[in-house]
Amino acid sequence: MITQPTTLRSILTIFVLGLLLFSCKTREKLVYLQKGDDQTKVQPDYQVILRPDDQLNIMVGGSDMESLAPFQFFYSANAQGGGGGGMMQNPQMMGGAGLSYVIDINGNINFPVLGFIKLAGLTRLQAVEFLQKQLEVYVQDVVVNVQLMNFKYTVLGQVKAPGVQSVPVGTERLTILEAIAKAGDLQITGLRNNVLLIREVNGQRSEYRLDLTSKDLYQSPAYYIHQNDVIYVEPNFTANFQGTNFQTFTQLGTTAISIFLSLYTIISLTK
């Protein structure tokens, strides 16, 4: 005959084992990059591609003030000799900046002297090289700098700070993990193995499903963020127990435990 202490120990053992199993399963759903090959893999090469609606800040420098005048940039006398030409100084040090341009729907900007030129589809460095080559005819010792000013993306769902996130000027490579970190990281209620990234390129919308718990994430074409990407983190099963649902579950659980203990006491007393 099984004694009451033995029965109680069995119940406690099953409870502890169940709790440990639940803890292991919970960890598998929460830890990033836990699955996959530990060997270093080559990450997909990525540079920001300019596209319509991008806002650019373009600065042009050179050694001749007269040739720079049409581009409204900055010139100072050579500090070494006091004459014989000049050079462009750091615009921020001089209190100035380049001019702002927005790439239109056709992929062009309207640039002084050059007119409409197409920059959409180029990387930032390719745009610098293209402009520099075009301006060599007009500006002596020309130097061009191009910066993307409105690199942003959106994070929705189970993160601590959902909303539109701006990328600092000068940042050209932002990973999905960095993007989520800027939104305060995922909440415990966020589904980590099926994060949705929505991307639109040339009017075509693409969707990527990302498993943040797998190291295969490094090889995904969505590992690096593009301008205007949308990241959506779905709720996991624990989100169903929040708020009113959680209160209902607690009440039902408390009632069930009370009934179980009452039945157990009655059975024990009748033996």
Q: Which of the following CATH numbers is that of domain 55-148: 3.10.129.10, 3.30.1950.10, 3.30.200.20, 3.30.460.10?
A: 3.30.1950.10
Which CATH code of 3.10.560.10, 3.40.50.720, 3.90.1150.10, 3.40.50.2020 fits the domain covering 152-236? 3.10.560.10
Give the separation between CA 186 and CA 30, rounded to whole angstroms. Answer: 9
* Residues 157-190 as b or e (16 or more Cβ within 10 Å = b): bbbeebeebebeeeeeebbbbebbebbeebbebb
Question: Cα 217 from chain centroid?
Answer: 13
How high is the pLDDT of residue 99? 86
Closest CA to 68 of 102, 96, 101, 109: 96
Tens-place pLDDT, residues 86-142 = 444 444 333 345 789 999 999 999 999 999 999 999 999 999 999 999 999 999 899
pLDDT of residue 111: 94
Would the pTM count as exceeding 0.85? Answer: no
The C-alpha atoms of residue 162 and residue 191 are separated, in whole angstroms, by 15
**What digits encode the pLDDT tens for the residues 198-253?**
999 888 999 999 999 999 999 999 999 999 999 999 998 765 555 445 455 556 65
Instruction: Spell out the domain ranges in the chain.
Output: 55-148, 152-236
Answer whether 55-148 and 152-236 agree in fold.
Answer: no
